[in-house]
């Protein structure tokens, strides 16, 4: 999943944008630090019927990574360009993200 917004929203609402990025970073850190507590918070908020153990297993699945770093977006961008879904191919994943994540190991 990717969270996104427009440049206009980011410019017009710098405090809201910064608060969202900080909250997202805090959430990702919390999930990675304590998957069980994160599962409990999720289940309490969502009222999902799955067990805490099942939720912890899902969080710990190697295919489910929780990170702020954009991952594999260039593969998607290449596909979208090749299929004509976008008219300009990005040169880098950084062309699609704001500077707040440029220090992360995106790809």
pLDDT tens by residue, 55-87 = 999 999 998 899 999 999 999 999 999 999 999
How confident is the model at residue 2, as a pLDDT?
85
Looking at the fold, whether 62 and 75 belong to one and the same domain comes out as no
**Residue 68 in tokens:** 């702020």
**pLDDT of residue 106 exceeding 90:** no
How confident is the model at residue 1, as a pLDDT?
80
CA angle (56, 71, 64) in 5-degree steps? 15
**Residue 44 in tokens:** 């309490």
Give domain status of residue 64, yes or no: yes
**pLDDT of residue 13 exceeding 90:** yes
**Residue 34 in tokens:** 């304590």
Give domain status of residue 14, yes or no: yes
> How far is CA 29 from each of CA 6, 34, 53, 99, rounded to the nearest angstrom?
25, 9, 20, 19
Give domain status of residue 3, yes or no: no
Average pLDDT estimate for 92-102: 93
* CB atoms closer than 10 angstroms to residue 13: 13
Average pLDDT estimate for 84-97: 95
Q: Write down the pTM of the prediction.
A: 0.80
Listed in sequence order, the residues at least 6 apart from 72 whose beta carbon sits closer than 8 Å to its beta carbon are 107
Give domain status of residue 55, yes or no: yes
| Count of domains for the chain | 2
Average pLDDT estimate for 17-43: 96
DSSP 63: T
Give domain status of residue 52, yes or no: yes
Query: Which range of residues forms the domain containing residue 104?
Result: 70-107
Looking at the fold, whether 31 and 59 belong to one and the same domain comes out as yes
Looking at the fold, whether 15 and 64 belong to one and the same domain comes out as yes
């Amino acid at each position: 999943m990717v969270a996104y917004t427009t440049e206009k929203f980011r410019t017009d609402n710098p405090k809201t944008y910064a608060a969202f990025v900080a909250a997202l970073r805090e959430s990702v850190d919390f999930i990675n630090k304590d998957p069980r507590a994160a599962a409990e918070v999720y289940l309490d908020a969502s009222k999902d019927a799955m067990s805490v153990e099942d939720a912890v297993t899902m969080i710990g699945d190697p295919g489910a990574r929780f990170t702020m770093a954009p991952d594999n977006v260039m593969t998607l961008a290449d596909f979208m360009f090749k299929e004509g879904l976008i008219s300009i191919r990005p040169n880098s994943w950084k062309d699609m993200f704001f500077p707040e994540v440029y220090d992360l190991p995106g790809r």
